[in-house]
Amino acid sequence: MARVLSGVQPSGDLHLGNYLGAFRYWVADQHDHDALFCVVDLHAMTLDYDPALLATRTLETAESLLAVGLDPEVCTLFVQSHVPEHPRLTWLLECTATFGELRRMTQFKDKGGEQETVRAALFTYPVLMAADILLYEAERVPVGEDQRQHLELARDVAIRFNHRYGQTFVVPEAAVPKVAARVMDLQEPTRKMSKSVSSPLGTVLVLDPPEEIDRKVRKAVTDTETEVHYDPLSKPGVSNLLELLGAATGGDPAELADRYVNYGQLKADVTEALTELLRPARERFAELHADRGYVESVLAQGAAKARALAGPTLDRAMRGAGLLAPPGGFSA
């Protein structure tokens, strides 16, 4: 079975963009791939964060992933900081990636990369992400559109390392969905839905109750016209709603547009489709949240499995790069 790996930051509440752009593919992939999913807590430290909340958010992110349907019987779910091979491989890859490559990352620029006070780790963030992927010899990485450039970097770094030090890493491929790869903010439909930047009204959360989904969709920004068309450039708000409906019901956004003569009916159907889509996750989350011991045991098991895979890759990479191995190797 092909190996799949992906990750999510525990930097805030998980939203519909995460679900439609990534998680639902993770849930599908786990059945026919050797799949690993990671709560990337080290990545969440690259911007300002509250240390008093990080551990709780990490646990709740894991609970949310189980709630949306990850099954620890068939996939491996773990926390990045529980596997010390990640930061260790990052060093080798920082000695492989270049300053110029990292400076071109659009997410670094978007997150304020030009400011003097920005954390150095925000700059090297994509290298840690490359380590997450390369450690596990992942062939496929299901992500939303915003991660495509980071995936390109991971590929380039793997190819360069292999070329310089001999075959070490599998070169991964990004798997970006056709519909809803970039879910937009409901209040600012030219900007992607995100954990950090938008107004709360623009972001539908995976755990939102039905009345919140209804409120947010009803208030979603559209435009001053009245006709429903799919045209992301000239009608970003309406097109985003059509994409949400298409992703939730399996339809094509442009074809769905033909069914509607006004925005009100479209919004009502989007609300209903999203409510039904997210209902099971909300119910399951409540059960998991009440059983911390279970979730912690899933993560402990996941970390043990992840370490068993990551150790030999790290050892191979360290030796390949010419470092003197300690007795028992680098992963002992």
Per CB under 6 A, residues contacting ligand TYM are 5-9, 17-18, 21-22, 40, 43, 129, 132-133, 141, 143-144, 146-147, 150, 181-183, 192-194
The one catalytic residue among 109, 178, 192, 219: 192
> Closest-CB residue for ligand TYM?
21
Catalytic (active site) residue 111: yes
Minimal distance, residue 328 CB to ligand TYM, in Å? 28
For residues 161 and 305, give the distance between their C-alpha atoms in angstroms, rounded to a whole number: 25
Nearer to ligand TYM, 130 or 238 (CB): 130
Nearer to ligand TYM, 250 or 327 (CB): 250
Catalytic (active site) residue 195: yes
Nearer to ligand TYM, 168 or 203 (CB): 203
For residues 281 and 284, give the distance between their C-alpha atoms in angstroms, rounded to a whole number: 5
| Cβ contact 132:80 at 8 Å | yes
Directed axis angle between helix 292-320 and helix 148-165, to 10°? 40
Task: Print burial letters for 75-104: b (CB count within 10 Å at least 16), e (below 16).
Answer: bbbbbbbbbebbebbbebbbebbeeebbee
Nearer to ligand TYM, 8 or 207 (CB): 8
**Structure tokens given for 279:** 């209902």
| Cβ contact 177:21 at 8 Å | yes
Positions annotated as catalytic residues are: 111, 192, 195
